[in-house]
Amino acid sequence: MLFGAVVRMDLENNREELRRMVASLLRHVERCDRAGIRFLPRSQPSASEEKVAEDLLEGTEGNLFSDYAAAYRAKSLKELRAAIGDCRRCKLWPGRAHLVFGVGNPQAKLMFIGEGPGRDEDLQGEPFVGRAGQLLTDIITKGMGLKREDVYIANVIKCRPPENRNPEPDEVDSCEPFLKKQIELVRPQIIVALGKFAVQTLLRSKAPITRLRGIWHDYHGIKLMPTFHPAYLLRNPGDKKLVWEDIKKVLKGLRAPAA
């Protein structure tokens, strides 16, 4: 089943890469148009023309054709992190202290996915390290009897949105390919999606988390359990029992033989 999921993801990656190449080419044409360039040079460009072209291709919108290709080709999390580099593919990059990639066991059976870095995560460069992170660590260690290093933890968005606002659709569109590749490389048996934003993004659903949580969903052949975000639990401790119900299902799922 996991093999089937990986093959499906590869096909999707190819389609996604083609779509992004076309989008990247269109952005490039638009930038050329804005810069007053209407024709491609027939002869070898001069040094000054090359400089203009370099300036056009650099910047917040990424490089032509190289936006995601290296990330899609990555064979390990280390290669993926290198491919992401000093990412400027969306408008969140200027506000970040750190790009928060992900942490944990690269072969984890269990992966937790949240929304995006908050202030503490941005400062420390690691997901779920603030108060909400401590609660997640308690769920993993005290609740599940695992170590934080046994699981893999990542977010949909790798850079902190200003004032912790929800990520915007163009930011998700720019960053989600990295998460998809992380999932493909870790190949977890189970994903726990934390909070409304991560759940709705991963499941492509607008249904409220109260309807989605507590039941198994399919994410490209991987079992996905939505539950409340630890930050929500800090504000609503009465709902901890619901999360514990979800986590018990996850523990049972982890004990079941992989399909």
Q: In terms of DSSP bridges, do strands 222-227 and 217-219 run parallel, antiparallel, or are they unpaired?
A: antiparallel
Which residue from 155, 122, 163, 123 is spatially nearest to 136, judged by alpha carbons? 155
Residues touching ligand SF4: how many (CB under 6 A)?
A: 14
- How would you class 114 by CB atoms within 10 Å of its CB: exposed for 0-12, middle for 13-18, buried for 19 or more? buried
Residue 74 sits in the site that holds ligand SF4 (CB under 6 A): no
Minimum distance, C-beta of residue 169 to ligand SF4, in the bound complex (Å)? 12
Q: CB neighbours (10 Å) of residue 76?
A: 10
Query: How many whole angstroms separate alpha carbon 77 and alpha carbon 100?
Result: 13
Minimum distance, C-beta of residue 227 to ligand SF4, in the bound complex (Å)? 24
Radius of gyration of the chain (CA): 20
Minimum distance, C-beta of residue 72 to ligand SF4, in the bound complex (Å)? 14
Residue 174 sits in the site that holds ligand SF4 (CB under 6 A): yes
Residue 156 sits in the site that holds ligand SF4 (CB under 6 A): no
For the chain, where are the E strands, in sequence order? Answer: 103-104, 110-114, 152-155, 190-194, 217-219, 222-227
Query: Judged by CB, which is closer to ligand SF4: 159, or 186?
Result: 159
Query: How many whole angstroms separate alpha carbon 89 and alpha carbon 24?
Result: 11
Residue 89 sits in the site that holds ligand SF4 (CB under 6 A): yes
Which residue from 187, 176, 179 is spatially nearest to 6, judged by alpha carbons? 187
Taking CB under 6 A as the binding criterion, the range among 37-45, 103-111, 151-159, 218-226 that sits at the site for ligand SF4 is 151-159
Query: Judged by CB, which is closer to ligand SF4: 88, or 109?
Result: 88
CA separation, residue 231 to residues 22, 115, 235, 256 (Å): 38, 11, 7, 29
Residue 90 sits in the site that holds ligand SF4 (CB under 6 A): yes
The 152-155 sheet, strands edge to edge: 103-104, 152-155, 110-114, 190-194, 222-227, 217-219
Query: Judged by CB, which is closer to ligand SF4: 63, or 134?
Result: 63
Token couple for 63: 């490089």
Q: What binding mask, one character per residue, do residues 92-131 give for ligand SF4 by CB under 6 A, x or -?
A: xx-----x--------------------------------
Residue 175 sits in the site that holds ligand SF4 (CB under 6 A): yes
Minimum distance, C-beta of residue 125 to ligand SF4, in the bound complex (Å)? 12
Residue 87 sits in the site that holds ligand SF4 (CB under 6 A): yes
Query: How many whole angstroms separate alpha carbon 160 and alpha carbon 124?
Result: 12
Minimum distance, C-beta of residue 15 to ligand SF4, in the bound complex (Å)? 19
Query: Judged by CB, which is closer to ligand SF4: 91, or 249?
Result: 91
Minimum distance, C-beta of residue 107 to ligand SF4, in the bound complex (Å)? 23
Would you tell me which residues interact with ligand SF4 (CB under 6 A)? Answer: 84, 87-90, 92-93, 99, 157-159, 171, 174-175
